[in-house]
Amino acid sequence: MGCHIVGFGKRHYDYANGKPGEICKVGFALRSKSFAIYLLDYPEHDFLITKLGKHEYSGGCLHITRLADVQAEILAQMIEKAFSADDRGAA
């Protein structure tokens, strides 16, 4: 993923052209104004993210400026569900 991301687990996926890829199931990185949590979608994702609190989400990357701005128990559920999701996903 890169030298500035701490990733956990492996998740395999297929690009639209059928080429296989691999990414971490959950990743964390510090950014200049926030920290990023990389989560691939899973069935409950859309429901949980609406309850999370102040954040930005785009392309599998959740940006949070301050942990106090989000519901810690919802964030923990999101990370747990992303980590335990099926190994194969779509890109």
pLDDT, tens digit, 9 for 90 and up, residues 30-51: 988 999 999 877 888 899 999 9
pLDDT of 32: 87
Which of the residues in the chain have pLDDT under 70? 1-3, 87-91
Residue extents of the structural domains in the chain: 6-85
Task: Name the pairing type of β-strands 11-14 and 35-39.
Answer: unpaired
Torsion angle (degrees, nearest 10) of CA 74, 46, 26, 13: 160
Task: Name the pairing type of β-strands 35-39 and 26-30.
Answer: antiparallel
pLDDT of 49: 94
